[in-house]
Structure 1
Amino acid sequence: MSNTSSDALLARMMQFHPKIIDLTLDRVWRLLAALDHPERRLSPVIHIAGTNGKGSVQAMIRAGLEGSGARVHAYTSPHLARFHERIRLAGTLISEEALSAALDECLAANGSDAITYFEITTCAALLAFARTPSDYTLLEVGLGGRLDATNVVDNPALTLITPISLDHQQYLGNTLPEIAGEKAGILKRGVPCIVGPQDDAALEVIEARAARLGAPLLVCGQHWHLTSEAGRLIYQDETGLLDLPMPNLPGPHQVQNAGMALAGLRALARDAGAEAAVTRAEWPARMQRLHQGPLVEAHSGGAIWLDGGHNPAAGHAIAATLAQMNIGRLWLICGMLNTKDVAGFMRPLQDVAQHLYAVSIPGEAATLSAQETAQAARTAGIDASEATDVLSALKQIAAQDPSAHVLICGSLYLAGNILRENG
């Protein structure tokens, strides 16, 4: 083992493949074989795919499992402030020593062969998981499902598919059925799958694949039901009813995410952790209020929230959350990638936005320019201006309205930049 830092090792890994995304499992299988197949030595795996809500559902399931006394590994992507956030070993973020060791071993086993950054870092996560005792391993799909680097476990304990919508069309297909086919690629023969609320076209694809594999489905609205009544969360399936507090994660969309988590815990016979699932989950950059740092100091008169949602479904979820918060119109600071449906994300926000300041995302080659983002906002019916950066935008907002409420939004990469500077 070398004494090289994880940052330096990760930087080397960026050079192994000319494409950031290149979906295939061949390179992953090769490296896993060279590492003596750590994917075969994991604790029972819970595999989560979908377009929206994967991270929140995983966070709730983890909180529930830990609340019931289990030790839980968790893998998620992308990270926000530090790579270490992607890998949680038995409840604790991976240490610098353990991360560097796993990365170093993967680099040595891979040699000079082509492999993407996500593939080799996923193998490093699996290696770390295999060497640390736990009761469960949570794996969140990076992109799609069928050819995602996490899709290497033959017999998981459970799979989950969160709501599917249009996103990453350049990799997954241009229609809901095509995208659903990729997400449903995580289904395994005989393994139960929790299915969140779906468009009929997506659900048909999932049901057809499940029928071919003999994978039992537990579908929202068919096998389990969720309502909110008098400020309480009511979950019901054939096992019985759960009467719980509302989710601590903000937004009406977190109610359906909680339903998936509760259905998952029931399927695992771990519903002793049901209340912990909805009250103890933590998931940053999802309508997260900032309480410290330079941005808060620059605008102390009003609240500042941060959200990393970036597709049309996320735009609707943010708008619904803001409406539920009943704070009236607020100011937006927005930066987005050029691979996203920018107008589709912004249209749902036109009724809650006072004005939008557009920024580029620092350090991201695929960022839209502030000018392009501002023009997209105007096309979506939102008054917009350009700013050199988030702090500059915030100062301009504060000068016009000292008590303004502000939402910084549009990208997880922008959210990560904000959290690094205001963590």
Structure 2
Amino acid sequence: MIDKAPSEAERIINELMGLHPKGFDMTLGRMRRLLETLGNPQDRLPPVIHVAGTNGKGSVSAFSRALLEAGGKSVHVHTSPHLVNWHERYRIGVTGGRGRLVEDAVLADALTRVAKANDGQAITVFELLTATAFVLFSEIPADAVILEVGMGGRLDCTNVVDDPAVSVIMPISLDHQAYLGDRVELIAAEKAGIMKKSCPVVIGQQPYEEARDVLIETAERLRCPHFVFGQDYISFEEHGRLIYQDETGLMDLALPRLPGRHQYANAAAAIRAVKAAGFTVTEAMADAAMADVEWPGRLQRLTWGHLVRQAPANAELWVDGGHNPGAGEVIAEAMAGLEERQPRPLYLIAGMLNTKEPLGYFKAFEGLAKQAFTVPIDSSDAGLDPVVLANFACDAGVIAEPLSSLAEALAAIRERTAGDPIPPRILIGGSLYLVGSALAENGTPPK
């Protein structure tokens, strides 16, 4: 890879990171103070689809964007974290077309104004970046905003929109226990904090009944019209098509472009959310959205690039940033589905942060992965030591070996599969930071 000089926006963000903490400090006081100074841009947004959940936030945001754009709407999207470039967090809507990542000069200008308004006061970098999204999205016209929660919900700094068009709560499982609680019902209560009185709520497929009950009880208490997967809307595969059904009838759609059966429920939640937000969704729109949706770094197959050339000949190379036990289960299920259709030996290349739960993640691959290679995450100072991570994998029943880099792991797989009649399937995962590094090294960053 060729090192390039940082963009102007990246330079400003790097300066802010030197002045302010990157970590979590859950409160809304600093954010509201800054937004007040900026003239409360969060109150001047187009209709907001506010998305929380442990897993599936990014996918439902991508489906929602695809649905709205299929109907000719312009859509601003704020997601986090980014994979390769900071600009990925800010997608600007384009009338009648697909949204584009924010231009560097536009982002740099907004960041400068937000930093000036903050005037050096105590704040986190994520709060500054989120305030920048509100400034951008309030100043550039669009038909809708998709706003993804960073962590939790109740005290997440995106939770300053008092009248969302719809709140969406995707699957909840254990993650960020130090901040959100060590039981799914406690985490659900934090995620439910984005619900606003009388505003519509869409509840995605929930793996835990305790979490589902908390979400429904909260919606009822706040008198929110609410739509629950499996009760008020549903989706399933039939004859190679995706069938969506709610109180208004059926839609017969193409299967989602995003791999994995879990995407059927994510697509359904997006359809119901866009409808609940007051937008029309036709069968033709939804069918087009299923074919056009894209979400980099989530069960994404790499078909060309530098890393692909380093992999064994004719190998399949996949990346996925899922990093908790719930994500491990759906990713492993997707890999098992590929195995049923086209058997290949599966190798994992994994890196994780020290805030995650590796044992639960790797447990999902027991009996499925032939071997794992653990690598460091150079882009984060919270990366778990590959030796420690390999021990977790072994404890979960997956043979593992620590190595020093993606390149070394791919070389090890080449060596172990040399002469094998069937090329391997390789999954790089366990962290969005690792996937971002992989996409950068491969030369295929999100666009």
Q: How many equivalent residue pairs?
A: 421
The secondary structure found in structure 1 opposite 2:18 is coil
For 1:364-404, what per-residue CA distance to the aligned partner results, in whole angstroms no more than 9, with x for missing partners?
A: 11111110111111101111111110101101111221422
Q: Which one of the candidate residues 316, 335, 348 is aligned to 1:322?
A: 335
Counterparts in 2 of 1:255 and 1:302: CA distance versus 1, 3 Å: same
In structure 1, distance between residues paired with 2:416 and 2:185? 47
In the other structure, the counterpart of 1:368 is 384
In the other structure, the counterpart of 1:202 is 211
In structure 2, distance between residues paired with 1:269 and 1:101? 32
In the other structure, the counterpart of 2:96 is none
In the other structure, the counterpart of 1:281 is 293
In the other structure, the counterpart of 1:108 is 116
In structure 1, distance between residues paired with 2:26 and 2:69? 33
Q: Which one of the candidate residues 426, 429, 434 is aligned to 1:414?
A: 434
Q: How much does 1:19 deviate? A: 5.5
Q: Is 1:57 paired with 2:60?
A: yes
In the other structure, the counterpart of 2:281 is 271
In the other structure, the counterpart of 2:368 is 352
Q: Which one of the candidate residues 152, 159, 162 is aligned to 1:151?
A: 159
The aligned amino acid for 2:281 is D
For 1:240-259, what per-residue CA distance to the aligned partner results, in whole angstroms no more than 9, with x for missing partners?
A: 11111111100011111011
The aligned amino acid for 1:204 is D
Check whether the contact 1:233–1:244 (CA below 8 A) recurs between aligned residues: yes
User: What are the within-5 Å matches in structure 2 for residues 156-305 of structure 1?
Assistant: 156-198=164-206, 199-267=208-276, 268-272=278-282, 273-299=285-311, 300-305=313-318
Unaligned runs of 5+ in 1: none
Unaligned runs of 5+ in 2: 1-5, 94-98
Q: How much does 1:4 deviate? A: 8.3
Check whether the contact 1:16–1:114 (CA below 8 A) recurs between aligned residues: no
The aligned amino acid for 2:91 is R
For 1:2-21, what per-residue CA distance to the aligned partner results, in whole angstroms no more than 9, with x for missing partners?
A: x9811111012213444611
TM-score, length-scaled by structure 2: 0.92
In structure 2, distance between residues paired with 1:257 and 1:60? 8
In structure 1, distance between residues paired with 2:138 and 2:39? 11
Q: How much does 1:407 deviate? A: 0.8
In the other structure, the counterpart of 1:12 is 15
In the other structure, the counterpart of 2:3 is none
Report sequence identity in percent: 46
Q: How much does 1:356 deviate? A: 0.8
Q: How much does 1:270 deviate? A: 2.2
Q: How much does 1:277 deviate? A: 2.6
In structure 1, distance between residues paired with 2:344 and 2:280? 40
User: What are the within-5 Å matches in structure 2 for residues 44-83 of structure 1?
Assistant: 44-83=47-86
Check whether the contact 2:7–2:104 (CA below 8 A) recurs between aligned residues: no
Q: How much does 1:39 deviate? A: 0.5
Q: How much does 1:353 deviate? A: 0.6
In structure 2, distance between residues paired with 1:101 and 1:258? 35
Q: How much does 1:262 deviate? A: 1.4
In structure 2, distance between residues paired with 1:328 and 1:194? 38
CA-based RMSD of the aligned residues comes to 1.3
In the other structure, the counterpart of 1:43 is 46
In structure 2, distance between residues paired with 1:264 and 1:379? 40
The secondary structure found in structure 2 opposite 1:381 is coil
Greater alpha carbon shift after TM alignment, 307-316 vs 208-217: 208-217
For 1:211-241, what per-residue CA distance to the aligned partner results, in whole angstroms no more than 9, with x for missing partners?
A: 2211111001111121211111111111111
Check whether the contact 2:83–2:437 (CA below 8 A) recurs between aligned residues: yes
